[in-house]
Structure 1
């Protein structure tokens, strides 16, 4: 069978499984995303391992292709989340979002590092375990809140704002740890000579100086990107889309909106040093400030994303890991404690972080739960650690299981928390996530 037909068969299997499992999940009272994630686990190496069926002659190519399509899916999903973000409401919860993000970074980082040291891992590897636990992937939370009609609620806007801040904090910590590890590795072979020539504190001072310079460069790079992206999104992007709306042809305005979201995603990662999803989310937020452009883009993007790319993203999470092998490689004790730290670290850290800003206990709990999912962000951070030699394959396997666990658990806990107490957001907050559709059909 030609390769393009194999791709067609695989896409048909993935999308059918995702939508079927999503529909079954909703019949059982859970968000559709929960079923889509379970479908990925069942189709992956944990059970069926469809990429290695005899039908597919080049599983490595298909794995790479599905991964790329999944990355596009999360970019489009965050573009949609940005379009549904009310910036005025987010400004009202700005201080709470920052405090929630800080708490959701500090407690998981400290608990992950402490667990690593307690189980005898080297210092840098333990610190990197904590770094991975700081990650938050808001895409799962955003999808679930969209289905529940709660994305514009106070808790929803706080979670989205905190996740963006969390991303910046996490990338700074990641960059610092990797930079200092590289500096330490470079200094190690010359430690004896440096100690003789410059004294025992010489190499450490050099490594510390290099680390500080790296941190300063990272911060400047991020600040420059955010300033440029905000300026472009506020003034250039609306003008460009209005001009494109006058072009002849089919859907030129929507096409330019897609181009803008994709290019901002590329710029975020390659120029700003933050996750690509941050760039696409910012593109959506900026367009949301212009109602006529938001309306022109949102429904078309939702059809493209939810009909094709987003199901691939959710299924691909399960296709990337073998749960049985991961548990065997790490040992159950360390794995269980990491899972507990990953969940409670975010719930307690972010929840307590927003409490001083007028959030009740149930509202704070919802914010903390919304920060639990690690998604693709943790996998990216863990992959960097493995590539740089900071963490072992066994630790990486634990992080994969942790990512899957938190990603699966978040929709369940969110659904429970919003149905737990009276006074849940209603009216304008309980809107249909896709214009013209019934609530809950987005997944």
Structure 2
């Protein structure tokens, strides 16, 4: 092997292509009014086996290269989930109101049930079918938040309830993923006692790591920041992310991403949270998160959807839309919203994004879903991202129902979810500033 084609140089060139292409794709996507994650996904599809098949070109002879890129993408997943946890506030989650709680919870239950039924119809076993439902239960409201901000509706009851419901959705999906994968890996003959033991183990890990984390990590982060160590705070944070991810899987029996998510939650109370977020965002969105989104495209072969796969994609898209409309919509009505507001909130929950892709990637790695289903999931993420903004604009279109658009939280009667009064601006702006929900350009 010549020096020009050593494994390291092949890795260096592939990373240069992937990161540059991801940023260009993200930028073009933003210019077209779409979240940058869409552009990064499309770039991955362009570079992957669907079209160019970059990693199988003659220059890239290292058979371990796709595996190395995939491992780097896994780091991106951990950092992405850490930043997602860092954005949440447990106080907001506890006080965000019954509308958010019911819409978020039923917005998980309905797509999960419909997705599981769909999997059974297409001949998947029960385990794979339930996992398909879990994938379709995930949501991403960054594009919805951006659209509502443009319509000047983000400060309404619908807007803030949507953000609160997304928090419940994310937490339920991440915890369900951990329980599901633990049970699935334990074998098909696992009994109720084993399920209870798995749940107890997880709850014990969550309780201990959360208590110690809330008590120690904010203090330690502040003290480390005072030490004369170059980028000591960011190094400390990354160590905690990786340790929490490792301990969640090894000690808690749950997905590593849950540990990273928990690390973000406990550091929300750090007095240097803003500096942590800024520093980790540079590392994450500068390198690892773009690799993750492009790696999704490198892994998915959309050519497998030709023929019967298109029926699977169409059916999954239908379930993804109807599941959220029914689940989140009914939850909103039960919480006290009128039908128009419930419809608006349900539409806002349709878009899928990074959490769904993360869950799908875990399922593919654990062999809980096959390549055909994975490719269809990528298609659903792209299509729901495209259709949500026009549907949301139509739902808020001025007309006979304009007066029912929902009161601003600053007006009398705009009581719902007032605890998250700072969340809309943060979430919407970081769509472009840090790329937490949609990926950075």
Asked whether the two chains share a fold, i.e. TM above 0.5, the reply is yes
Indicate whether 1:409 and 2:383 are aligned: yes
Indicate whether 1:378 and 2:378 are aligned: no
Q: Is contact 1:43-1:49 (8 Å) kept?
A: yes
Structure 1 residues 435 and 27: alpha-carbon distance in aligned structure 2, compared to 1, 3 A threshold? closer
Indicate whether 1:27 and 2:7 are aligned: no
**For residues 400-439 of structure 1, what are the structure 2 equivalents within 5 Å?**
400-416=374-390, 419=393, 421=396, 428=422, 429-431=424-426, 432-433=429-430
**For residues 102-121 of structure 1, what are the structure 2 equivalents within 5 Å?**
102-119=105-122, 121=123
| CA–CA separation in structure 2 for the residues paired with 1:437 and 1:353 | 31
1:86 is aligned, of 76, 86, 89, to 89
1:267 is aligned, of 240, 247, 263, to 247
Indicate whether 1:231 and 2:226 are aligned: no
Structure 1 residues 173 and 281: alpha-carbon distance in aligned structure 2, compared to 1, 3 A threshold? closer
Q: Is contact 1:86-1:288 (8 Å) kept?
A: yes
Q: State the 1:67 CA deviation.
A: 0.8
| CA–CA separation in structure 2 for the residues paired with 1:57 and 1:101 | 47
1:75-110 Cα distance to aligned partner (Å, 9 max, x none): 112222222223332222365555345424433343
Q: State the 1:237 CA deviation.
A: 0.7
2:272 is aligned, of 276, 293, 301, to 293
Q: How many residues align?
A: 401
Q: Is contact 1:103-1:350 (8 Å) kept?
A: yes
1:322 is aligned, of 301, 304, 316, to 301
1:361 paired residue number: 342
CA RMSD of aligned residues (A): 3.4
Q: State the 1:371 CA deviation.
A: 5.7
The unaligned stretches of length 5 or more in structure 1 are: 184-209, 387-394
Structure 1 residues 94 and 174: alpha-carbon distance in aligned structure 2, compared to 1, 3 A threshold? farther
Structure 1 residues 276 and 332: alpha-carbon distance in aligned structure 2, compared to 1, 3 A threshold? same
1:243-296 Cα distance to aligned partner (Å, 9 max, x none): 312322201122101111221122223332333222222222222223x32122
| CA–CA separation in structure 2 for the residues paired with 1:366 and 1:133 | 19
2:76 paired residue number: 73
Q: Is contact 1:72-1:309 (8 Å) kept?
A: yes
2:414 paired residue number: none
Q: State the 1:399 CA deviation.
A: 1.5
2:194 paired residue number: 214
Q: Is contact 2:313-2:377 (8 Å) kept?
A: no
1:55 is aligned, of 46, 56, 59, to 59
Indicate whether 1:396 and 2:378 are aligned: no
1:351-382 Cα distance to aligned partner (Å, 9 max, x none): 42343224522452255325676212123224
Query: What TM-score do the two structures reach when normalised by structure 2?
Result: 0.79
Query: What TM-score do the two structures reach when normalised by structure 1?
Result: 0.79
The unaligned stretches of length 5 or more in structure 2 are: 397-404, 411-420
2:140 paired residue number: 141
Q: Is contact 1:81-1:284 (8 Å) kept?
A: yes
Q: Is contact 1:137-1:377 (8 Å) kept?
A: no
1:155 is aligned, of 150, 162, 185, to 162
